[in-house]
């Protein structure tokens, strides 16, 4: 690194959140100090690791910083909470220089500004690969956090937006088309700059969502997790799954990093009302893709066949 | 990895904190949910990176997990806060197996039990080197956090315990003695199992400490940081610095990972009273090692010479 740790921290401090109404002590002390509200706190951490989640030649530092924040906010959103504070834990390798790090923090700052998040502290370490770890803290009214475990048989299964774009983006990065279509460019953009459905999740919670999870590891796998946590089953109408323009059905079912919200609502009327609200407030579609059952995961294909739904998706340790 | 991510998470969940009075949703959902008290929150994150902070052949997984928690609690302590919640962000390489990971979590659990900390969530990722990242959340009465920036000229400079043991432990690991003495074994143990001065820092705060910092990167460097944050100088009596039994003076001044608390107190009477309390409550010495001045960092040697104190110590990026 072409700069000392303290000099780098000084430079970083300038692009980060200073003290403010909620932040008593920001970046630069042993720890940050914040004055929280009266709600419950939602705590989550997620890391982007070089070689696993990104490579330096194919990712800009700015996109990487932005995404590291958003993937955490997607987990905050899935609890129906509002983003409050974040910390970043950065491992830097000799492959990156101070300018790269400043760009990374610029991307984090961009996401923080968009989502009204205070980046209040962090840590720098040296390693042989770059890791961008973020911890996000959200707030939710006491006892009102939405979990994975509240789904009941008879609930309808809904998902925000569309699925498979990020998986299509990965495919397109591996085999770049000579002249990418607008849809293909959008898929690549979606992979680089995901959206955390913070406001959307709040609307779903207001419509009495019984369970929520963010689709980070693939619809089939995340649905299986929701069902396992709730002790229920599900019947997924494959033909109803909203597939992103550049994606395949397989990418929509098994691809990771969509960061849409998968939720269960008490009935079709709630799903219709929530869909109207989401469309009006955010221009985002909400699609009913199945129902919750007593047990078992079943995929109903458009031609009427039923088969067990394989909970495949992103597993960090499979085949390792 | 010889186990799937979900299976590993399931096994880990069993050794971690379940829901309790303060924890509404523990490990296993998109995020943890806690019901905090009415104090300010202290937020900090720190990571141990393979090759930089440890190597797999020379560290047990249990010690590593324990230390990853404690180094974060040392930062919580330095703010005069009490530990509350923690999250861990783990990057695993193919060099470690599920049994190793379970031992790592066993060590974390040990530290959590000792310090009354709830490990409420985390993240697993795959990489080419092992990283153990922890985020700790502490609580302190509103407006009562101790910072680095409150030192005034005339304050006395005190430090808990003794310094240099961890640096001696690093030296002994590099050049193992044939028959290590009891002091040498203690130094190695101190490196592997540091102590976070949580209770001690609370006593110092009660004696009106004007500034505190934990000595994680070496006394000289951390003192320079405290002085810079406070806009003051210091005069360090080198002969008064408490040197750990197996360590050299240079290791006590420049070695990292001691995790003692360096604090400033308003006068000698407060230092004496605090020392009495620390000895009685914790069996820990508090030593006066200098005074705060208007500006400049000066080292006063035992033979009466004065020279500028070089703020050298652990810098992750120097010479990189």
Q: Does B28 touch chain A (CB under 8 A)?
A: yes
pLDDT single digits (tens) B148-182: 999 999 999 999 999 999 999 999 999 999 999 99
Q: Does B298 touch chain A (CB under 8 A)?
A: no
Verify whether the Cβ–Cβ distance A43 to B75 is below 8 Å: no
Intra-chain end-to-end CA distance of chain A, in Å: 31
Say if residues B180 and B245 touch (Cβ distance below 8 Å). Answer: no
Verify whether the Cβ–Cβ distance B4 to A81 is below 8 Å: no
Report the distance separating Cα A243 and Cα B268, nearest Å: 71
Say if residues A60 and A91 touch (Cβ distance below 8 Å). Answer: no
Verify whether the Cβ–Cβ distance B145 to A25 is below 8 Å: yes
Minimal CA separation from B179 to chain A, in Å: 33
Partner residue facing B125 (CB), from A43, A49, A78: A49
Q: Does A133 touch chain B (CB under 8 A)?
A: yes
Partner residue facing B25 (CB), from A50, A127, A147: A147
Report the distance separating Cα B47 and Cα B40, nearest Å: 24
Confidence category of residue B200, pLDDT binned at 50, 70, 90: very high
Report the distance separating Cα A94 and Cα A92, nearest Å: 7
Give pLDDT, residue A22.
81
Give pLDDT, residue B237.
97
Q: If 0-12 CB within 10 Å is exposed, 13-18 middle and 19+ buried, where does residue A15 land?
A: middle
Indicate if the pLDDT at residue B142 is higher than 80: yes
Minimal CA separation from B270 to chain A, in Å: 23
Q: How many CB atoms lie within 10 A of CB A211?
A: 25
pLDDT single digits (tens) A14-23: 777 666 778 8
Give pLDDT, residue A7.
76
Record the pTM: 0.92
Q: Does A137 touch chain B (CB under 8 A)?
A: yes
The residue among B25, B31, B143 with the most chain A CBs within 10 A of its CB, best to mutate, is B31
Give pLDDT, residue B320.
32
Minimal CA separation from A168 to chain B, in Å: 22
Verify whether the Cβ–Cβ distance B89 to A135 is below 8 Å: yes
Identify the residue with better confidence: A278 or A121.
A278
Contact list in A for residue B81 (CB cut-off 8 A) is 31
Rounded to 10 deg, the angle between the B198-206 and B268-282 helix axes is 150
Beta bridge partners of B91: B125, B131
Residue of B nearest to A85 (CA): B43
pLDDT single digits (tens) A270-280: 999 999 999 99
Q: Does A25 touch chain B (CB under 8 A)?
A: yes
Minimal CA separation from A1 to chain B, in Å: 5
**Number of Cβ pairs closer than 8 Å across A and B?**
246
Indicate if the pLDDT at residue B1 is higher than 70: no
Beta bridge partners of B135: B45, B87
Percent of chain A topping pLDDT 70? 96
Partner residue facing B89 (CB), from A41, A133, A142: A133
Q: Does A12 touch chain B (CB under 8 A)?
A: no
The residue among B11, B12, B29 with the most chain A CBs within 10 A of its CB, best to mutate, is B29
Give pLDDT, residue B19.
66
Percent of chain A topping pLDDT 90? 82
Verify whether the Cβ–Cβ distance A126 to B317 is below 8 Å: yes
Q: Which of A190, A275, A262, A261 is nearest to A227 (CA)?
A: A262
Say if residues A223 and A158 touch (Cβ distance below 8 Å). Answer: no
Partner residue facing B133 (CB), from A89, A129, A212: A89
Give pLDDT, residue B319.
39
Residues in chain B: 320
pLDDT single digits (tens) B281-316: 999 999 999 999 999 999 999 888 999 998 876 555
Q: How many CB atoms lie within 10 A of CB B172?
A: 18
Q: Does B87 touch chain A (CB under 8 A)?
A: yes
Q: Does B12 touch chain A (CB under 8 A)?
A: no
pLDDT single digits (tens) B211-232: 999 999 999 999 999 999 999 9
**What is the SS3 assignment for A231?**
coil
Domains of chain A by start residue, with CATH: 5-140 (3.30.1330.10), 156-308 (3.90.650.10)
The whole-chain average pLDDT of chain A stands at 92
Structure tokens given for B212: 């505190």
Report the distance separating Cα B86 and Cα A45, nearest Å: 10
Minimal CA separation from B33 to chain A, in Å: 5
Verify whether the Cβ–Cβ distance A30 to B125 is below 8 Å: no
Indicate if the pLDDT at residue A189 is higher than 50: yes
This complex has an ipTM of 0.90
Contact list in A for residue B6 (CB cut-off 8 A) is 225, 315
Report the distance separating Cα B230 and Cα B148, nearest Å: 7
Indicate if the pLDDT at residue A221 is higher than 90: yes
Give pLDDT, residue B317.
52
Partner residue facing A124 (CB), from B79, B136, B316: B316
pLDDT single digits (tens) B11-52: 777 777 666 778 888 887 889 999 888 899 999 999 999 999
- List CB contacts of A99: < 8 A, sequence separation 6 or more: none
**What is the SS3 assignment for A25?**
strand
Report the distance separating Cα B265 and Cα B211, nearest Å: 8
Say if residues A125 and A132 touch (Cβ distance below 8 Å). Answer: no
Q: Does A307 touch chain B (CB under 8 A)?
A: no
DSSP state of A238: G
Q: Where are the alpha helices (DSSP H) in A236-314?
A: 249-254, 268-282
Indicate if the pLDDT at residue A320 is higher than 50: no
Indicate if the pLDDT at residue A72 is higher than 60: yes
Of the given ranges (A62-66, B272-276, B306-310), which has the lowest mean pLDDT?
B306-310
**Residue in the block written with tokens 């390489």:** B93
Percent of chain B topping pLDDT 90? 82
Say if residues B47 and B54 touch (Cβ distance below 8 Å). Answer: no
């Amino acid at each position: 690194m072409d700069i000392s740790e303290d000099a780098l921290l000084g430079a970083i401090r300038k692009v980060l959140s200073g003290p403010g109404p909620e932040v008593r002590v920001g970046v630069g002390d042993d720890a940050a100090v914040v004055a929280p509200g009266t709600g419950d706190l939602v705590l989550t951490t997620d890391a982007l690791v070089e070689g696993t989640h990104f490579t330096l030649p194919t990712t800009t530092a700015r996109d990487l910083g932005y995404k590291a924040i958003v993937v955490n906010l997607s987990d905050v959103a899935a609890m129906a909470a509002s983003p409050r504070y974040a910390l970043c834990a950065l491992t830097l390798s000799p492959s990156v220089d101070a300018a790269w790090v400043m760009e990374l923090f610029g991307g984090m700052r961009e996401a923080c500004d968009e989502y009204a998040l205070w980046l209040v502290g962090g840590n720098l370490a040296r390693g042989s690969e770059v890791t961008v770890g973020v911890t996000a803290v959200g707030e939710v009214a006491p006892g009102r956090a939405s979990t994975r475990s509240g789904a009941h048989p008879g609930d309808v299964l809904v998902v925000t937006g569309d699925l498979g774009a990020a998986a299509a983006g990965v495919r397109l990065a591996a085999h770049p088309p000579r002249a990418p279509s607008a849809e293909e460019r959008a898929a690549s953009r979606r992979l680089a700059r995901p959206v955390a459905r913070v406001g959307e999740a709040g609307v779903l919670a207001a419509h009495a969502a019984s369970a929520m999870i963010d689709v980070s590891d693939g619809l089939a796998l995340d649905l299986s997790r929701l069902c396992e946590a709730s002790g229920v089953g599900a019947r997924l109408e494959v033909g109803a799954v909203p597939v992103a323009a550049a994606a395949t059905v397989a990418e929509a079912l098994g691809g990771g990093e969509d960061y849409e919200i998968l939720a269960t609502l008490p009935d079709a009327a709630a799903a219709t009302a929530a869909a109207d609200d989401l469309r009006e407030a955010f221009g985002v579609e909400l699609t009913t893709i199945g129902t919750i059952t007593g047990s078992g995961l079943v995929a109903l294909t458009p031609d009427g066949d039923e088969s067990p739904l394989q909970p495949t998706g992103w597993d960090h340790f499979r085949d390792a």
